[in-house]
Amino acid sequence: MALYAELHRHLGGSVVPRVLWRYFQRNRSNLIEHFPGYLDFEDFYTRPRNTLDEYLELHTMVESVQTEATLPYFVYRLMRGAYVFENLAYLELRYTPYLRTPDHLSQSERIEKMSEIVDIVGKASQIGEYPIEMSQILCMHSRLPYEVNRAIVDLAVAHPHYVCAVDLAGGDAHYRDRLDEYVKLYDYARQRGVNTTGHLYETEEGAYPELLPYLMRIGHGIQIPLHYPELLPQLAEQGQCLEVCPTTYLKTGTLDDLQQLKVVFDRCFEAGVDIAICTDNAGLHNVRLPFEYESLLTQDIISFQQLQACQDAAFRHAFAWKYEQRPERILSDILRPEADDDLDLMVGETSTVG
Ligand SMILES: [Zn+2]
């Protein structure tokens, strides 16, 4: 049995349509009364959008129902689904904690409340029956003021047991005017020992070489191999990994065809830049991680060996995976200690972990 690591998943986009529909039926039926039935809702929720901005609007709908009181409900269902249907052994879940605090409070009260949200998500994710290693990535957001984003970095510093990194989200076309601020925030995060990733080079408007030196991983980054391949050697040297989320690019209108990703994988492999394949918004897309893998394989975008290399890379670049080895190797040592050599032959060919 293979077990996987997911490095790029948003809490807001991780609710599968069926779970959200049930939640609305039970608690907020006014929000779905204009949908004749579930299938109409699913179609609305999962249909492709024209732009990244339009797509991100959908997140606000889910954010509005993910409150202090309901987060345990959603996180429990997400962990259960990830374990049972996706074989995840490791999950980094990202969100903007400020956007889960009550919006009638003042900015400073909302900042204060953020640490409760981190605790709620952390506790809700630790479920004995579904043993996935889970850690949170806190997203700074381009719609939020500097003070809030700085408080998000401070929150990451203060909660290392629940939080493994910070991110920057909100649509990569919107960073330009405040770029100095983001450079400062990332610099501050690195100085405080916080791991970093960031939504960058996702769309053609998202090229900010100024931010690259501060990132340990790059959220998406597909425009680099597509349009700035001269940057790849620098990424390889820095050991920066791209978090590539195939279905997203079709849903946001960033790519027309998944085949365009072949260049992304080929150029990265050639330059020695690691790629972790991720879902971004598995619920919103209704596409789980094993299907992302399978779809890249069946469309001949990557080979089986490349898939295994990407799966290895995901564990290697995971901020909070504490083990030297992939989990199936650990399991195998326990279950079939005498069969070590067989497993080496099975997973060792392209593996650099364990
Ligand atoms: Zn994302």
Helices of type H across 67-145: 71-86, 107-125
Q: What are phi and psi of 221, to 5 degrees?
A: 70, 10
280 Cα: distance to centroid of ligand 1 (angstroms): 5
100 Cα: distance to centroid of ligand 1 (angstroms): 17
- Residue 232 C-alpha from the chain's centroid: 22
41 Cα: distance to centroid of ligand 1 (angstroms): 23
Residues 6 or more apart whose Cβ sits within 8 Å of residue 100: 63, 66, 67, 68, 71, 117
199 Cα: distance to centroid of ligand 1 (angstroms): 6
d(CA 165, CA 192): 11
289 Cα: distance to centroid of ligand 1 (angstroms): 14
pTM (global) more than 0.85: yes
What is the Cβ-side half-sphere exposure of residue 163, based on CA atoms within 13 angstroms? Answer: 32
73 Cα: distance to centroid of ligand 1 (angstroms): 22
* Tens place of pLDDT per residue across the chain (354 aa): 789 999 999 998 888 888 889 988 998 888 889 999 999 999 988 888 888 888 888 777 788 888 899 999 999 999 999 999 999 999 999 999 999 999 899 999 999 999 999 999 999 998 778 889 999 999 999 999 999 999 999 999 999 999 999 999 998 889 999 999 999 999 999 999 999 999 999 999 999 999 999 999 999 999 999 999 999 999 999 999 999 999 999 999 999 999 999 999 999 999 999 999 999 999 888 899 999 999 999 999 999 999 999 999 999 999 999 888 888 877 777 777 776 555 555 554 444 443
263 Cα: distance to centroid of ligand 1 (angstroms): 21
Q: In 3D, which of 303, 202, 216 has the Cα closest to residue 244?
A: 202
**Structural domains in the chain, sorted by start:** 4-322 (3.20.20.140)
